A and B are shown apart, each in its own frame.
Chain A
């Protein structure tokens, strides 16, 4: 049996004593404590600087970012953006934030709530939170937020509330545990800018297999 064989070799190599309680206690303590390791200063800024850092880092990662002052501006801004960029069709997630949008605007945009398919131009989802340290978005899968929306379309539009932007990744894990009652969603996506590759002669090219463009609609207030 492979498993027993592997474990025996590891335990033999470690000279595990017959009374293994100290090692077991150490492991339990580490798992229970979820202790944070060193967090860089950069990730521990006061709120306004943290927001600035998120915006700068997202920009550095080649994400596009549009700031909005209230949720009321969202529909108009997305519709205008879509028109300017020649996008007529938007596949959306069905979470509360997206569902609550009142798409009565200019009516040129066709919306569809579903998983993404090959050929989709653009998707619209909500981010669970933002991480200022590296301008990263956290999204996770669920009934209302299919994962394919984050990867298959050419353009990924994401609504992010400024109030959900944290400094370090560790704060995001904590928020996630609270939001999901400690159980891990099937998939958690940390997304920092659009898809890219440097596999040909180490020359960076944008838009490999994931979205070529990542557009963040940053919602201030509330």
Chain B
């Protein structure tokens, strides 16, 4: 996938004026946050579970190499194979090699963000293997040659008319705008693919060291058909998804669905432990786990280690005012929203993604709802520091900061300008208390009014209260 993160500002400007996108984003804002809040309210232990999950993830990361060893040992004992891939390219090549070994023509795919990260579909297609996305949202996107704009609701940026058009064009059937009808149509069209596929590729929500199992959490059941029907099942996952035991996995399962969709539990939580056993009448004959690093091992021990706690629930983006305004595609790569603003610079370089950690109001909502308590604003701040240190920030930002620090280190001058500025703003605002036009600040005032400062300044109050 082409990296469009450097164009964030332009992407965002276009997104804000896209009426259809804004309508679609309304569905997100009206849905996920309320559903999550309701699920959390029903589980009094929710915050305690979050503390335990944070601590357990920290323990896992401190012992990651050892849990990975244990996981591989048990996958092998179950009759499967683990493939270690340092880079996205290593992973693509390995997956193609497994497909070629099976003479695979078509591959069905369950939903997997790691396969988006390594740009697997394009690569398979160029090498003669046809990937078929089977998650409803991903299927819609594949027909439209589009990419996910959200990590669990991939087609959230589309309206029903877009889906109806795509189905009409590709399925050659009468057009319908009824979501139930559209889903039935997708169900029918995908049945033959499930059966015909030579290889099924799924992701994994967690990898269980104790048993060498991988688990997927889905509502549709497409992941299960993807991994049960073909001769070969490839799990594509990443190295930070390890959990020690089934009991530990359970802790995260209690948090995942509630944080993501606000469900009590995902419909299908399916553990896979190796290929078909003697006597089994169905299931894959080959079981491969492709473990992708792609920059994650460099985060271990760094100031970004806490990001590796992420369980990909999407709560941070569901609650983010920036994501809610500009949508996922504006971020220009695979992972959008606050978690993406921390991960993307790691994976594609801060020189390409410097705008993302700056695309935040630092309201702190992302950290507030994170099930594993990742301090996302702090991590974004680390990236801003790095960007500044590497002299990557634009001249306007650097000179603005230099100007600000000139005044900030000269208190008397600072106060003088602050009080002049205050009076000017109040004069502009008049009786309304806000202004819709300000010199040099059209980026702000084009979309919202600037409120005038109210009451006395901090320094005035400090003096008056004789502190």
A41 on the B face (CB < 8 A) = yes
Residue of B nearest to A143 (CB): B279
CB contact list, A174-196 vs B, under 8 A: 184-196
Which stretch of A23-31, A82-90, A103-111 is in the interface? A23-31
Candidates A6, A31, A194; contact of B210 at CB < 8 Å: A31
Interface string of A1-28 (1 = CB under 8 A from B): 0110111011111111000000110110
Which stretch of A66-74, A122-130, A159-167, A197-205 is in the interface? A197-205
How distant is the Cα of A203 from the Cα of B136 in the complex, in angstroms? Answer: 13
Residue of A nearest to B155 (CB): A199
B268 engages A31 (CB within 8 Å): no
Which residues of chain B are near A14, meaning CB under 8 Å? 62, 64-65, 300-301
**A27-B63, A192-B267 as given contacts; A13 in contact with B210, CB under 8 Å:** no
B211 on the A face (CB < 8 A) = yes
**A173-B246, A188-B270, A205-B179 as given contacts; A115 in contact with B59, CB under 8 Å:** no
Which residues of chain B are near A61, meaning CB under 8 Å? 264-265, 267
Which residues of chain B are near A37, meaning CB under 8 Å? 49, 52, 56, 247-248, 250-251
Which residues of chain A are near B28, meaning CB under 8 Å? 202
A101 on the B face (CB < 8 A) = no
How distant is the Cα of A194 from the Cα of B267 in the complex, in angstroms? Answer: 7
A79 on the B face (CB < 8 A) = no
Could you say which of A37, A192, A193 has the most chain B C-beta atoms within 10 Å of its C-beta?
Answer: A37
Which residues of chain B are near A190, meaning CB under 8 Å? 265, 268-270
A155 on the B face (CB < 8 A) = no
CB contact list, B177-199 vs A, under 8 A: 179-180, 182-184, 186-187, 190-192, 194-195
Chain B interface residue bracket vs A: 35 or more
A6 engages B239 (CB within 8 Å): yes
A148 on the B face (CB < 8 A) = yes
Could you say which of B62, B163, B246, B274 has the most chain A C-beta atoms within 10 Å of its C-beta?
Answer: B246
| Min distance, Cβ A143 to any Cβ of chain B, angstroms | 4
B267 engages A193 (CB within 8 Å): yes
Interface string of A118-137 (1 = CB under 8 A from B): 10000000000000011110
B261 engages A198 (CB within 8 Å): yes
A35 on the B face (CB < 8 A) = yes
Candidates B27, B186, B228, B301; contact of A12 at CB < 8 Å: B301
Residue of B nearest to A177 (CB): B246
B134 on the A face (CB < 8 A) = yes
How distant is the Cα of A168 from the Cα of B43 in the complex, in angstroms? Answer: 14
**A31-B245, A184-B213 as given contacts; A150 in contact with B224, CB under 8 Å:** yes
Residue of B nearest to A134 (CB): B265
Which residues of chain A are near B12, meaning CB under 8 Å? none
Candidates B67, B183, B247; contact of A207 at CB < 8 Å: B183
Interface string of B233-270 (1 = CB under 8 A from A): 00000010000111110110110000001001111111
Which residues of chain B are near A191, meaning CB under 8 Å? 267-268
B187 engages A148 (CB within 8 Å): no
| Min distance, Cβ A27 to any Cβ of chain B, angstroms | 4
B70 on the A face (CB < 8 A) = yes
A147 on the B face (CB < 8 A) = yes
How distant is the Cα of A208 from the Cα of B134 in the complex, in angstroms? Answer: 10
**A2-B85, A141-B283, A199-B140 as given contacts; A173 in contact with B247, CB under 8 Å:** yes
Which residues of chain A are near B283, meaning CB under 8 Å? 141, 146-147, 186-187
Could you say which of B160, B261, B267 has the most chain A C-beta atoms within 10 Å of its C-beta?
Answer: B267
**A146-B281, A173-B247, A201-B24 as given contacts; A185 in contact with B273, CB under 8 Å:** yes
Which residues of chain A are near B90, meaning CB under 8 Å? 2
| Min distance, Cβ A69 to any Cβ of chain B, angstroms | 28
| Min distance, Cβ B270 to any Cβ of chain A, angstroms | 5
B43 engages A189 (CB within 8 Å): no
Which residues of chain B are near A195, meaning CB under 8 Å? 219-221, 267-268
B398 on the A face (CB < 8 A) = no
B63 engages A196 (CB within 8 Å): no
B101 on the A face (CB < 8 A) = no
Candidates A150, A173, A202; contact of B156 at CB < 8 Å: A202
Candidates B45, B52, B65, B272; contact of A7 at CB < 8 Å: B65
CB contact list, B49-69 vs A, under 8 A: 49, 52, 56, 59, 62-68
Residue of B nearest to A211 (CB): B221
A151 engages B135 (CB within 8 Å): no
Which residues of chain B are near A15, meaning CB under 8 Å? 301
How distant is the Cα of A5 from the Cα of B296 in the complex, in angstroms? Answer: 12
How distant is the Cα of A65 from the Cα of B266 in the complex, in angstroms? Answer: 19
| Min distance, Cβ A60 to any Cβ of chain B, angstroms | 7
How distant is the Cα of A146 from the Cα of B245 in the complex, in angstroms? Answer: 25
Which residues of chain A are near B346, meaning CB under 8 Å? none
B302 on the A face (CB < 8 A) = yes
A169 engages B273 (CB within 8 Å): no
Interface string of B296-325 (1 = CB under 8 A from A): 011111100100000000000000000000
**A11-B65, A41-B44, A187-B283 as given contacts; A151 in contact with B224, CB under 8 Å:** yes
| Min distance, Cβ A145 to any Cβ of chain B, angstroms | 9
A209 on the B face (CB < 8 A) = yes
Candidates B45, B140, B253, B268; contact of A210 at CB < 8 Å: B268
Given contacts A118-B191, A205-B183, 4 further A-B contacts (CB under 8 A): A2-B90, A10-B300, A141-B283, A147-B228
Can you list 26 A-B contacts (CB < 8 A)? A2-B84, A2-B85, A9-B300, A10-B300, A13-B300, A31-B209, A37-B56, A40-B43, A41-B45, A42-B43, A146-B280, A148-B228, A152-B225, A173-B246, A184-B78, A187-B271, A189-B270, A191-B268, A192-B267, A193-B267, A194-B267, A196-B267, A197-B220, A198-B219, A208-B219, A210-B225
Show the binding face of A for B, using Cβ within 8 Å.
Answer: 2-3, 5-7, 9-16, 23-24, 26-27, 30-31, 34-38, 40-42, 57, 60-61, 114-115, 118, 133-136, 141-143, 146-148, 150-152, 168-170, 173, 184-203, 205, 207-211
